[in-house]
Amino acid sequence: MAPGLLTLPNELLSEITRHIIPEFSPDGGYKSHKGWRSSPHQNDLCHLMLTCKHLYALMRPHLYTTVVLDYHTNMTHLLRTLVEHPEIRGWIRTLSIICPLYFCDRIVDPYSPRQTFLDDNPELVRKLDMEWNPDKMDDFAGKIFRKVGLDANEFKQFTEDEINALNDNTYWMAIPTCSERVGYENALMQGMALALIMLSVRLERLCLWWFRKKGRTSDFEYGVKRLAQDDELNKMAFVNLERLELWGNGDNDCLAKLLSFPAIKELVGKGNYIEADDMETWVAKI
């Protein structure tokens, strides 16, 4: 590394770092989640962070500026990070997330969101630690977990049959019926999606990708309703939001639920509305 790099002011280094990160948008060349994940910028940032402690501290927040999620494993890891490190919650400015984040409604898959949520290394069968216990979280995270249903008993522990099934890599067979499994797997996915949205406390841009034909949204809608009914969370939610994007096959019922939040209602009511192809966008007026 050129020794002169570290002599630059932190503000200038941060500005240089921002130019490394592409924009997540069709115009920026990253319309899809898959395209964003293949972008080299994250590896570039990680390599720079590993060079010294100064650059690590300076560039780490930039890794979380734009978060793109479409699978339960990276959702679970990020949720665990936000629960254990509250300071990171304010770093996320753009969040793009597939909703309702359904789980394999028609395909039997032995690797489940619940398995990842409880234990991301099933071969070791680690016991559930405090990070998923709302009573041991900070008050804000704990309240969100309860409101979106992530404190449900079926998400807290494995049954004996499930533990045996994890060891045999036949987890799905431990659930009595496919419909029961899909039911609380979907509830878990949608609860995690809402928790991530609510924990991103300085969110400026929210992109929701709706695929109504591929999954039901009732758990998402129920979670939004419970969050909006809480006066404290209602006032705190989306206060920095400047852009709301709905992609895919839109769902008016879900949008209606989101309008329960004053900040969303104001943005949709007073912001500039843009409709193009399969996207609806509301942008705050400057």
- Domain of 49? 1-64
**Do residues 190 and 103 share a domain?**
yes
**Do residues 156 and 268 share a domain?**
yes
Q: Which long-range contacts (CB under 8 A, 24 or more apart) does 226-235 make?
A: 226/147, 226/148, 226/149, 227/144, 227/147, 227/148, 227/194, 227/198, 227/261, 228/257, 228/260, 228/261, 230/143, 230/147, 232/143, 233/143, 233/144, 233/147, 233/198, 234/260, 234/261, 234/262, 235/262
Could you give the number of structural domains in the chain? Answer: 2
**Do residues 5 and 137 share a domain?**
no
Name which residue leads in pLDDT, 61 or 99: 61
Q: Where is the domain boundary, 22, 42, 64?
A: 64
Q: Lowest mean pLDDT of 97-106, 214-223, 266-275, name the range.
A: 97-106
Indicate the residue type of 237.
A
Residue 146 CA from chain centroid, whole number: 17
Name which residue leads in pLDDT, 84 or 117: 84
Confidence label for 142 from pLDDT (cuts 50, 70 and 90):
very high
Mean pLDDT on 64-78: 82
**Do residues 43 and 185 share a domain?**
no
Residue 190 CA from chain centroid, whole number: 10
**Do residues 98 and 214 share a domain?**
yes
**Do residues 19 and 145 share a domain?**
no
Q: Where is the domain boundary, 14, 40, 64?
A: 64
